[in-house]
Amino acid sequence: MGVPLVCHGHSRPVVDVSYSPVTPDGFFLISASKDSNPMLRNGETGDWIGTFEGHKGAVWSCSLDKNAMRAASASADFTAKIWNALTGDVLHSFEHKHIVRACAFSDDTHLLLTGGMEKILRIFDLNRPDAPPKEVGSSPGSIRTVEWLHSDKTILSSCTDTGDIRLWDIRSDKIVQTLETKSPVTSAEVSPDGRYITTADGSSVKFWDANNFGLLKSYDMPCNVESASLEPKHGKTFIAGGEDMWVHRFDFQTGEEIGCNKGHHGPVHCVRYAPEGESYTSGSEDGTVRIWEVGTVNHEESNNLSGHVKLVAEEVVRKAETLCSPPGFGFSSISVLNSLALQLHSISACDLIGGEEMFALSKVLRRSQSLRLGARNAVYYSKLELPLGERNSSSEPNALIHDKHGAFPRFHERSWSSSTGRRSLSSDAGAKSAGEEEDLENRTSDLEGDSDSDDGVTSQEELSGDEDDIEGAELELHVPDSEAGKRTASKRSSELFQAIVAFSGVSVGSALDKWVEEGKEINRTEIANAMLQLRRRRMYGRAMQMAEWLEESKKIEMEERDYATRLDLIAKVRGVFKAEAYIEKIPESFRGEMVYRTLLSNYAAESNVRKAEEVFNKMKDLGFPRSLFACDQMLMLYKRVDKKKIADVLLVMEKENLKPSLFTYTILIDAKGSSHDISGMEGIMEAMKSEGVELDVRAQAFVARHYALAGVKDKAEKVLREMEGENLEANRHVCKDLLSIYGTLQMADEVNRIWKICEENPRFDESLAAILAFGRINQVKEAEAVFEKMVKMGHRVSSNTYSVLLRVYVDHKMVSEGKDLVKRMSDSGCKIGALTWDSLIRLYVEAGDVEKADSSLVKSTQLKQIKPLMSSFMYVMDEYARRGDVHNTEKIFQRMRQAGYLSRFRQFQTLIQSYVNAKAPAYGMKDRMKADNIFPNKGLAAQLAKADPFKRTHLSDILD
DSSP-H helix ranges across 45-97: none
- Taking residue 140's Cβ as centre, other Cβ atoms within 10 Å add up to 13
Share of the chain above pLDDT 90, in %: 39
Pick left, alpha or beta for residue 429 (phi over 0 → left; psi -120 to 50 → alpha; otherwise beta).
alpha
Q: Are 653 and 637 in contact (CB under 8 A)?
A: no
Mean of pLDDT values over 301-323:
32
Sign of CA dihedral 631, 632, 633, 635: positive
Q: Are 783 and 805 in contact (CB under 8 A)?
A: yes
Share of the chain above pLDDT 70, in %: 77
CA distances from 650 to 359, 477, 644, 733, 799 (A): 9, 22, 11, 33, 40
The pLDDT value recorded for residue 796 is 57
What band does 55 get if pLDDT is binned at 50, 70 and 90? very high
- Taking residue 213's Cβ as centre, other Cβ atoms within 10 Å add up to 14
Q: Name which of 95-109, 442-456, 672-686, 849-863 the model is least confident about.
A: 442-456
Q: Name which of 157-171, 292-306, 334-348 the model is least confident about.
A: 334-348
List Cβ<8 Å contacts ≥24 apart for 179-184.
Answer: 179/206, 179/208, 179/213, 179/215, 181/206, 184/144, 184/158, 184/159, 184/160, 184/525
The pLDDT value recorded for residue 741 is 94
Query: Per-residue pLDDT tens for 557-566?
Result: 889 988 999 9
H or E element that contains 617: helix 609-621
Q: How many residues does the chain have?
A: 960
- Taking residue 389's Cβ as centre, other Cβ atoms within 10 Å add up to 17
The pLDDT value recorded for residue 430 is 31
The pLDDT value recorded for residue 358 is 52
Collect all residues with Cβ–Cβ distance below 8 Å to 609 and sequence separation of at least 6: 389, 637, 638, 641, 642, 903, 933
H or E element that contains 220: strand 215-220
Mean of pLDDT values over 556-581:
89
Query: Per-residue pLDDT tens for 215-224?
Result: 999 999 999 9
Model confidence at 294: pLDDT above 80: yes
* Helices and strands, number each (H, E), in the chain: 30, 29
Torsion of CA 901, 902, 905, 907, to 10 degrees: 60
- Taking residue 946's Cβ as centre, other Cβ atoms within 10 Å add up to 14
38: nearest Cα among 76, 78, 84, 71: 71
Model confidence at 643: pLDDT above 80: yes
CA distances from 70 to 39, 92, 120, 145, 332 (A): 13, 11, 24, 20, 17
Model confidence at 467: pLDDT above 60: no
DSSP-H helix ranges across 491-559: 495-502, 508-517, 524-536, 540-553
Query: Per-residue pLDDT tens for 246-273?
Result: 999 999 999 999 999 988 888 999 999 9
Q: Are 487 and 267 in contact (CB under 8 A)?
A: yes
Between CA 238 and CA 638 the distance in angstroms is 44
Model confidence at 321: pLDDT above 70: no
The pLDDT value recorded for residue 197 is 96
> To the nearest whole number, what is the mean pLDDT of the chain?
77
The pLDDT value recorded for residue 484 is 35
* 103 secondary structure, DSSP code: E
| C-alpha triplet 822, 827, 829: angle, nearest 5° | 100
859: nearest Cα among 850, 848, 849, 868: 868
Model confidence at 946: pLDDT above 50: yes
Model confidence at 625: pLDDT above 60: yes
- pTM higher than 0.85, yes or no? no
Q: What is the DSSP string of 405-450?
A: GG----TT--------SSTTT-------SSGGGGGSPP--------
- Taking residue 748's Cβ as centre, other Cβ atoms within 10 Å add up to 17
Q: How do the domains of the chain map onto residue ranges?
A: 5-293, 659-724, 896-959
Mean of pLDDT values over 476-490:
36
Q: Are 150 and 194 in contact (CB under 8 A)?
A: yes
Query: Per-residue pLDDT tens for 271-288?
Result: 999 999 999 999 999 889
- Taking residue 362's Cβ as centre, other Cβ atoms within 10 Å add up to 14
Between CA 431 and CA 833 the distance in angstroms is 14
Q: Are 866 and 833 in contact (CB under 8 A)?
A: yes
Judging by DSSP bridges, how do beta strands 154-159 and 268-273 pair with one another? Answer: unpaired
Model confidence at 393: pLDDT above 70: no
The pLDDT value recorded for residue 357 is 55
Q: Are 884 and 917 in contact (CB under 8 A)?
A: yes
807: nearest Cα among 765, 777, 836, 850: 836
Q: Are 274 and 27 in contact (CB under 8 A)?
A: yes
Model confidence at 392: pLDDT above 50: no
286: nearest Cα among 455, 123, 485: 485
Mean of pLDDT values over 822-829:
81
Model confidence at 544: pLDDT above 50: yes
Q: Does domain 5-293 have CATH number 1.10.150.20?
A: no
Between CA 116 and CA 436 the distance in angstroms is 14
What band does 334 get if pLDDT is binned at 50, 70 and 90? very low
Collect all residues with Cβ–Cβ distance below 8 Å to 152 and sequence separation of at least 6: 106, 107, 108, 111, 170
Distance of CA 553 to the CA centre of its chain: 33
The pLDDT value recorded for residue 616 is 93
Q: Are 901 and 907 in contact (CB under 8 A)?
A: yes
489: nearest Cα among 481, 480, 501: 481
At 733, the amino acid letter reads H
What band does 98 get if pLDDT is binned at 50, 70 and 90? very high
Mean of pLDDT values over 770-785:
93
Between CA 641 and CA 904 the distance in angstroms is 7
Between CA 636 and CA 343 the distance in angstroms is 8
478: nearest Cα among 423, 583, 407: 407
Q: What is the DSSP string of 781-798?
A: HHHHHHHHHHHHTT----
CA distances from 611 to 451, 575, 933 (A): 32, 13, 11
